[in-house]
Amino acid sequence: MFGADVYVERRSRLKEQVQSGLILFLGNEESPMNYPDNQYSFRQDSSFLYFFGLDFPGLAAVIDIDQGKECVFGNDLTVDDIIWMGPQPALKEKCSAIGVSETAKFDKLQPVLKKVTEQSRPVHILPSYRAQSTLKIAELLGIPPAKVQERVSETLIRAVVAQRSLKSKGEIEQIEAALDVSYEMQTMAMKMSRPGMLEMEIVGAMEGIAISRGCRLAFPTIFSIRGEILHNHYYGNVMKQGDIAINDSGAETNLGYASDISRMIPVSGKFSQRQKEIYTIVLNAQERAIEMVRPGVEFRQIHLLACKSLASGLKDLGLMKGDIEEAVHAGAHTLFFQCGLGHMLGLDVHDMEGLGEDYVGYTDTIRRNPEFGWRSLRLGRALEAGFVITVEPGIYFIPELISRWMAEKKNAQYINYDMVKKYEDFGGLRVEDDVLVTENGHRVLGRKIPKTIDEVEDMSSG
């Protein structure tokens, strides 16, 4: 946990932003996997963690702005609970560590909310992403679950997003602590991968590193020789001579901060000529995109630059043709790069995505482009010092998409389909780093993880 002053200050800034009414933060509950007592590892809600820091299930917290009060609602463990879970500090004690003096049993929350509603004062809530939370809010507010979404407070969302977007020194240290673990996960995977091994052996070893460093995975690892499947969570392939494996993985510190790094691993220790060529295009695009990161620059412009850089490299290789500006304008590059260049990173890997992607990545004037490819860009707005973002261009040869476009002769003036056909079995690759926007530019966070062809080959034993 951070010091109490950090949480006090965060709540005080939030009160200034929201100005009136009562803010309700609902913490997460334990979540069962396959029967009630067999639960997923507990993950607290990130906004609850940000403002109240308490990493325990079954809590709710209110900030009554009008009355200048803060209270955490929850129940202390009974002796029956302690038999199974061991003793824990009392809620009062936990709350003193976050600068909250008032606590109450959970069943005291509903009458408080009822009174506020009767006074016609607003109850500000955030969107919920778990059915359990939706049901609980419905019960607390005395409304049907289907109406909960309508009660979400845009004022609160905007205030929380504004605050969480700007990372403090302590938060950046946390992200870099997660990146230290990423360094170990990535370099171990490079050293360990060799022909004949199953992907799952590497995945297991990486999770072992995260756990043994007091972390856990920030998201389900993507480790696969089928890199063209963007979110591939299958680890059953045997890695063969000539394959390249994508390793898109991250750790989460015990305070909840994430890292998110993608590297490519030549399974035999050396990239083939063809792999080197595609890899170099992606790496160039990533480096050029990172160079552009500084306050005031719209991330959609950096995405556009990366798209042009990829398209121009693909043209040099003979996979694309024609005028690159026009090709990218027409969306021809999305045959190879179907997703966005990056996203914010923090307490969530896709930071604050649960609050609504457009509140995080777009503004009233910078709107999401609904075109294929562009619509998957999670961040389009101008960057500010203090943002932490990922920069992760890629080239993905997706056979089904290639066949569809080819049949439709889509963007045929910009795509050399005969050549693309020869790459159908290539797979896909991306390179990803986590970047802090600084006052004057940017800083790639964490210890440098091998990235150039030489660096990766040196680290990979094959």
Q: Total binding residues for ligand GLY by CB under 6 A?
A: 4
Torsion angle of alpha carbons 131, 356, 336, 268, nearest 10°? -60
CB of 430 to Mn ion, least distance (A): 9
Distances (CA, A) of 191 to 188, 201, 362, 436, 461: 5, 13, 40, 28, 5
Decide if residue 216 touches ligand GLY (CB under 6 A).
Answer: no
> In this complex, which beta carbon is closest to ligand GLY, that of residue 45 or of residue 348?
348
Give 216's strand partners: 252
Question: Contacts with ligand GLY in 323-382 (CB under 6 A)?
Answer: 349
CB of 174 to ligand GLY, least distance (A): 18
Give 350's strand partners: none
CB of 262 to Mn ion, least distance (A): 7
Return the closest-CA partner of residue 398 out of 226, 223, 273: 226
CB of 273 to ligand GLY, least distance (A): 28
Signed CA dihedral, 30, 31, 34, 40: sign only: negative
> In this complex, which beta carbon is closest to ligand GLY, that of residue 24 or of residue 189?
189
CB of 451 to Mn ion, least distance (A): 15
As a whole number of angstroms, the distance between CA 180 and CA 404 comes to 42
CB of 392 to ligand GLY, least distance (A): 7
> In this complex, which beta carbon is closest to ligand GLY, that of residue 27 or of residue 250?
250
Decide if residue 433 touches Mn ion (CB under 5 A).
Answer: no
Pull the structure tokens for residue 338: 């179907």
Residue 70 interface partner, choices ligand GLY, Mn ion, none, CB cut-off 5-8 Å depending on type: none
Residue 219 interface partner, choices ligand GLY, Mn ion, none, CB cut-off 5-8 Å depending on type: ligand GLY
CB of 389 to ligand GLY, least distance (A): 11
* Residue corresponding to tokens 């100005």: 19
**What is the per-residue burial (b if ≥16 Cβ within 10 Å, else e) of 125-155?**
bbbbeeeebbebbbebbeeeeeebeebbbee
Torsion angle of alpha carbons 75, 79, 81, 84, nearest 10°? 160
Decide if residue 55 touches ligand GLY (CB under 6 A).
Answer: no
Decide if residue 252 touches Mn ion (CB under 5 A).
Answer: no
Pull the structure tokens for residue 423: 């790459």
CB of 113 to ligand GLY, least distance (A): 36
Return the closest-CA partner of residue 145 out of 158, 157, 136: 136
Point out which span in 109-117, 158-166, 235-243, 390-398 binds Mn ion (CB under 5 A): 390-398
Question: Contacts with ligand GLY in 73-132 (CB under 6 A)?
Answer: none
Decide if residue 247 touches Mn ion (CB under 5 A).
Answer: no
Decide if residue 460 touches Mn ion (CB under 5 A).
Answer: no
Tally the residues of the chain: 462
> In this complex, which beta carbon is closest to ligand GLY, that of residue 124 or of residue 378?
378
Among 45, 70, 243, 260, binds ligand GLY (CB under 6 A): 260
Return the closest-CA partner of residue 23 out of 69, 59, 57, 91: 69
As a whole number of angstroms, the distance between CA 130 and CA 29 comes to 10
Return the closest-CA partner of residue 113 out of 75, 155, 145, 73: 73
Among 219, 354, 385, 412, binds ligand GLY (CB under 6 A): 219
What is the DSSP-derived secondary structure letter of residue 60?
A: E
Question: Contacts with ligand GLY in 412-451 (CB under 6 A)?
Answer: none
> In this complex, which beta carbon is closest to ligand GLY, that of residue 27 or of residue 361?
361
Task: Give the footprint of ligand GLY on this chain (CB under 6 A).
Answer: 219, 248, 260, 349
Task: Give the footprint of Mn ion on this chain (CB under 5 A).
Answer: 260, 390
